[in-house]
Amino acid sequence: MSDLPLVLVHGFMGGAAQWELQRGALEQHFNVITPDLPGFASKADLKAPDTIQGFAEHILDELTALGVDRFLLLGHSMGGMIVQEMAAIAPDRIEKLVLYGTAATGNLPDRFESFATSKQRVETDGVEASARRISATWFLDYEAASEFENCARIAEQSSLQALHAGLDAMQAWSRIKNLDNISCPTLIIWGEEDRTYHWPQIEQLRNTIPNASLAVLPGCSHAAHKEKPEIFNAALLDFLLDSPN
């Protein structure tokens, strides 16, 4: 068992329960910490920050309160932005970093719709319908994916305030100019059919972060950890358990 805990940070409309297909494999080696972000899942009653830095500071404060000083860190999607911010705020606390299905900016040049449209649709359609619509896009097979309903149920727990705050946070955030400041070993995990984050964003992470490696998972989309959990878990453990020469 590693002395360092592994912290998994979920993304927009996510929650700790999304990591259930990882727990068995990961808990053989690590104390796994899966916080819910404020405004989402079990913390839906808390006000969500409207900046990525605010989310990052919340997680760092929570880890400090748990007595966790140094750790291994993974972030998915918006969570990948949050962990990049954590690495900027507290680089000495992170042993290894995993950026999964994410980018160095929230305002993607090829985003499927504008942030203004997303916010309007959330307001018009409501949380439940938005949760199901957005969750479906995370899977190669949309609503037919075996894990779709599980993800949709978690997404439905989000507060309306958190959806607006999360969209604002992503739209305003960028660390493109700071990627080469990430000093810890970094793994980038990407589902090759990801509809949210396309290859140019992944290539930018891979080519700019100094000590980065890349795992591309075939036959899956944005929720690769749910679509191909065995492959995802193997790639993650290979990186986390590898000792430096």
Residue 126, strand partner residues? none
Q: How confident is the model at residue 243 (pLDDT cuts 50, 70, 90)?
A: confident
Mean pLDDT of 139-166: 98
Sole residue written with tokens 């944005």: 222
Closest CA to 240 of 17, 22, 42, 38: 22
Residue 47 falls within a domain, yes or no?
yes
| Lowest-pLDDT range of 30-34, 81-85, 105-109, 163-167 | 105-109
Q: State what percent of residues in the chain have pLDDT above 90.
A: 94
Q: Which two tokens stand for residue 14?
A: 């996510």
Write the pLDDT tens digit of every residue in 191-221: 999 999 999 999 999 999 999 999 999 999 9
Question: From CA 159, how far away is CA 39, in angstroms rounded?
Answer: 6
Residue 142 falls within a domain, yes or no?
yes
Residue 52 falls within a domain, yes or no?
yes
| Lowest-pLDDT range of 11-20, 24-33, 105-114, 193-202 | 105-114
Q: How confident is the model at residue 244 (pLDDT cuts 50, 70, 90)?
A: low
- Is the model more confident about 186 or about 112? 186
Half-sphere exposure of 135 (CA within 13 A, CB side): 27
Average per-residue pLDDT for the chain: 96
Backbone Cα Rg of the chain: 16
Write the pLDDT tens digit of every residue in 104-137: 999 988 787 888 888 999 999 999 999 999 999 9
Q: Find how far residue 31's CA is from the centre of its chain.
A: 19
Q: Work out how many domains the chain is built from and give that number.
A: 1
Does the pLDDT at position 160 exceed 80?
yes
What helix, strand, coil percent values describe the chain, rounded to 5? 50, 15, 35
81 lies in which domain range? 6-241
Closest CA to 37 of 122, 127, 161: 161
Residue 198 falls within a domain, yes or no?
yes
State the pLDDT at residue 200: 96
Q: Which residues contact 158 (CB under 8 A, 6 or more apart)?
A: 13, 39, 40, 41, 44, 127, 131
Residue 1 falls within a domain, yes or no?
no
Q: State what percent of residues in the chain have pLDDT above 70.
A: 99
Question: From CA 35, how far away is CA 51, in angstroms rounded?
Answer: 18
Q: Which residues contact 67 (CB under 8 A, 6 or more apart)?
A: none
Residue 74 falls within a domain, yes or no?
yes
State the pTM of this model: 0.97
Show the beta-strand stretches assigned E in 10-151: 32-33, 71-76, 94-100
Residue 169 falls within a domain, yes or no?
yes
In three-state secondary structure terms, 9 is: strand
Q: Any idea what the CATH number is for the domain that residue 228 is in?
A: 3.40.50.1820
Write the pLDDT tens digit of every residue in 76-90: 999 999 999 999 999
